[in-house]
Amino acid sequence: MKMRFLIAVTITAALLSACLPSVNPFYREKDVVFDSDLLGEWRIEGETKPSEIWKIEKTDGKAYKLTTTEPDGKQGEFTVHLFKLEQDCFLDMIPSDCTYGLKQTHNVATAMFPGHLLMRVTLRASQLKVTPTNFGWLEKHLTANPKALAHHVEDKRLLLTADTRALQRFVLKHLGDGELFEKPTVMVRK
């Protein structure tokens, strides 16, 4: 009974977060790589007005610290792992500093769960192509093919529950245009 309650609380917490998270990471330690060219500050290419800034710093081991700053000054901090599956590179991003609304109760804040987010990346000298997950496609695909990847849906919110290996197989199977990833955003060094 306690285990069911714990699982329910964990799932509910994940569903309350703002993005489509995965309970498990998208990488295994053997997949993780480090590329010092990723370090620095990045902004969206061609933007004439202020855009989101990504500041990527080295942390312990092969991990990175990513601080995102939106034009209005809002910030978010992530622990990021760059990893490679076959010839493609990806970022596994998990919030490292979650600050919840000041009007929320302690129980709500305690129940929040920071999930793993996935982005496909291509790095070339002073250019970083970042391709976010296409949540619309994923939601439609899993609705039509519920056994394609372990997940849970509650109140129309989706939480990936598959293990890392199953996540990787799914990602590699759906790299084509119009599938798991949207069009890339090109970022350049600030």
**Structural domain spans, the chain:** 2-35+82-184
Helix (H, G, I), strand (E, B) or coil at 111: helix
* The predicted structure's pLDDT at residue 108: 67
pLDDT band at 60 (very low <50, low <70, confident <90, very high): confident
> Any alpha helices (H) in the chain, and if so which ranges?
2-16, 106-111, 135-144, 164-173
pLDDT digits (tens, 9 = 90+) for 127-184: 999 999 999 999 999 999 999 999 998 777 788 999 999 999 999 999 999 999 999 9
With tokens 């598959």, the residue in question is 162
% residues pLDDT > 90 (the chain): 66
pLDDT, average across residues 33-57: 92
**What is the Cα–Cα distance from 120 to 171, expressed in whole angstroms?**
10
Distance CA 7, CA 10 (A): 5
> 17 falls in which pLDDT band (50, 70, 90)?
very low
